């Protein structure tokens, strides 16, 4: 496994693979890797000859009052994990390698898709995501890029960007990986105290309850959201940021739950903002 810090070195390594007509899989991450990330890498390993993982805590996707400084980092542990699943190249650029002085070009999916859900409270977040992902796509030129469905809106926004701007690659969304008790894996889970860790289960539980209600015939989005809110409010440290039921592709709000549906939520447990979601088809 090679650890490369510059755009030039990654480009040279990938070009070599492409000359041999090898397919390239890219897994973009912000590091502090957990089993969710590893599931993406394993999938990439199965489907491509060359697997590139990027580890970069991207400043442009954090708001001014967000956790950029405190975001957890552990490069040594990350590299060991990448090695354990057979990654070929880990790209660990510095901030100045990605954003040299005078940097000013951004890619933005305009409209509802970046304004709804997390976009409502995280202004500029998705613009930072689409810009850094564009850079990584141009540097690595992957055949396929792997993203976790836990960031469902991120997947939808990137898929829209790829369609709109004609990127010649495949986006592979991968299932959410959960702890044994149902908590969706997240690097931010490390912020939780022991009590908060238990209370954080209300997120995944409320999704299960919602699915049951829908299966039993409740089809009004507002009714399902009310049921979920009530459950979440049983946790003293929980504050709902949003719960929305939307079309899984356009992310437009649904009144009646039908078609490819995404239930997505952000909930603060104490000061830690967690997200979770469930995607399914209702005929």
* Residue with Cβ nearer a second copy (107 or 200): 107
The closest of 131, 116, 70 to 266, measured between CA atoms, is 116
Euclidean distance between CA atoms 183 and 185, whole angstroms: 6
What is the side-by-side order of every strand in the sheet holding 50-55? 2-4, 89-91, 50-55, 24-29, 144-148, 170-174
Using CB under 8 A as the binding rule, whether residue 65 contacts a second copy is answered as no
How big is the site for a second copy, counted in residues (CB under 8 A)? 30
Q: Which one of residues 75, 77, 80, 165 is an interface residue with a second copy (CB under 8 A)?
A: 165
* Residue with Cβ nearer a second copy (64 or 100): 100
- Residue position matching structure tokens 């090898």: 22
Using CB under 8 A as the binding rule, whether residue 153 contacts a second copy is answered as no
Residues 249-278 that bind a second copy (CB under 8 A): 250
Q: How far is the CB of 247 from a second copy (least distance, A)?
A: 12
Q: Which one of residues 6, 11, 22, 49 is an interface residue with a second copy (CB under 8 A)?
A: 11
Q: Which one of residues 65, 104, 216, 222 is an interface residue with a second copy (CB under 8 A)?
A: 104
Using CB under 8 A as the binding rule, whether residue 102 contacts a second copy is answered as yes
160 marked as binding residue = no
By CB neighbour count within 10 A (0-12 exposed, 13-18 middle, 19+ buried), where does 283 fall? exposed
Mark whether 37 is an active-site residue. yes
Q: Which helix (H) or strand (E) holds 132?
A: helix 125-140
| Per-residue CA distances from 88 to 39, 75, 119, 222 (Å) | 16, 16, 34, 47
Tokens in use for 204? 């995944």
Euclidean distance between CA atoms 41 and 242, whole angstroms: 30
Instruction: Select the span of 132-140, 192-200, 232-240, 255-263 touching a second copy (CB under 8 A).
Output: 132-140
Return the bridge partners of 265, or none: 243, 276
* Residue with Cβ nearer a second copy (141 or 267): 141
User: Phi and psi dihedrals of 274, rounded to 5?
Assistant: -115, 150
32 marked as binding residue = yes
Residues designated catalytic: 37
Known binding-site positions for (R)-pantoate: 61, 154
Known binding-site positions for beta-alanine: 61
Q: Which residues bind a second copy (CB under 8 A)?
A: 7, 11, 100, 102-111, 113, 130-131, 134-135, 138-139, 141, 160-161, 163-168, 250
């Amino acid at each position: 496994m090679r650890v490369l810090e510059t755009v030039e070195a990654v480009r040279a390594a990938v070009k070599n693979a492409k000359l041999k007509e090898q397919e390239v899989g890219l897994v973009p991450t912000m590091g502090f890797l957990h089993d969710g990330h590893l599931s993406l890498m394993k999938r990439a390993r199965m489907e491509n000859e060359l697997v590139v993982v990027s580890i970069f805590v991207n400043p442009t996707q954090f708001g001014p009052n967000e956790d950029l400084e405190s975001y957890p980092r552990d490069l040594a542990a990350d590299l060991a994990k990448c090695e354990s699943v057979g990654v070929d190249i880990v790209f660990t650029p510095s901030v100045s390698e990605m954003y040299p002085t005078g940097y000013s070009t951004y890619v933005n999916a305009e409209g509802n898709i970046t304004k709804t859900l997390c976009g409502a409270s995280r202004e500029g977040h998705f613009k930072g995501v689409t810009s850094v992902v564009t850079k990584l796509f141009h540097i690595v030129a992957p055949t396929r890029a792997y993203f976790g469905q836990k960031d469902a809106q991120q997947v939808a926004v990137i898929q829209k960007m790829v369609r709109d701007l004609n990127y010649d690659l495949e986006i592979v969304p991968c299932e959410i990986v959960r702890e044994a008790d149902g908590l969706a894996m997240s690097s931010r889970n490390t912020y939780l105290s022991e009590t908060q860790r238990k209370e954080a289960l209300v997120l995944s539980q409320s999704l299960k309850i919602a699915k049951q209600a829908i299966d039993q015939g409740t089809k009004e989005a507002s009714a399902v959201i009310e049921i979920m809110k009530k459950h979440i409010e049983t946790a003293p440290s929980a504050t709902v940021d949003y719960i929305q039921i939307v079309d899984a592709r356009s992310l437009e709000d649904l009144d009646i739950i039908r078609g490819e549906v995404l239930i997505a939520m952000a909930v603060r447990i104490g000061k830690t903002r967690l997200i979770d979601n469930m995607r399914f088809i209702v005929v």
